[in-house]
Chain A
């Protein structure tokens, strides 16, 4: 079964350092999402891409976070500088259609710890 690939699985970084996460969606999935999940809470959307275009980044802290999907395939989420409050699970998801009619498939996530 096709999967959404994410790396790294775990990342420990010091406060004020830069960190990057990578996501490779299921082949052919045009829509890609980055979610952040704080322990004990549900995931919250950071950014949504349709192909290489950003559809929604209203919840992305743009002073420190950036996301790109240059060729409309894989995507990178970057944080610079990292803060203690950024410690969370970062989840990538993809969907075949733009309307989610086929559901959403999530990757295994990247667990970030900022020390």
Chain B
């Protein structure tokens, strides 16, 4: 059974800092991996989608990498801003094409 783990569970950093969020999964047979952002009480906003054949994706200050063989992905946020404060969720698509989520990393960027 696929399990997704996100570390750390919570992170507090000063504005301007570069940071890395980690995601690990137990079964490397994934079809893709997606990073989402969730603001309190809101739905999920897709940030980056990495297909299983890809190694990384970039969007603005965000960069996500994927190492299928080791079961790991990282989300790199450059020059963090208070507006980046949210919960970041990692999810992998399994053989039945449904998403399996981690519990998320709650990020607070302090002004």
For B, the interface residue count at a CB cutoff of 8 angstroms equals 25
Q: Which residues of B (8-23) have their CB < 8 Å from a CB of A?
A: none
For A, the interface residue count at a CB cutoff of 8 angstroms equals 30
Please tell me if the beta carbons of A31 and B97 are within 8 angstroms of each other in the complex.
yes
How far is it, in angstroms, between the C-alpha of A106 and the C-alpha of B44 when the chains are bound? 6
- Contacts A45-B100, A95-B97, A106-B45 aside, 20 further interface pairs with beta carbons under 8 A come to A31-B97, A35-B99, A42-B4, A42-B101, A42-B104, A44-B101, A45-B99, A48-B96, A48-B98, A56-B96, A99-B31, A99-B93, A99-B97, A101-B31, A102-B49, A104-B34, A104-B91, A106-B43, A107-B43, A108-B42
Q: Which residues of A contact B (CB under 8 A)?
A: 6, 31, 33, 35, 40-45, 48, 55-56, 89, 91, 93, 95, 98-109, 111
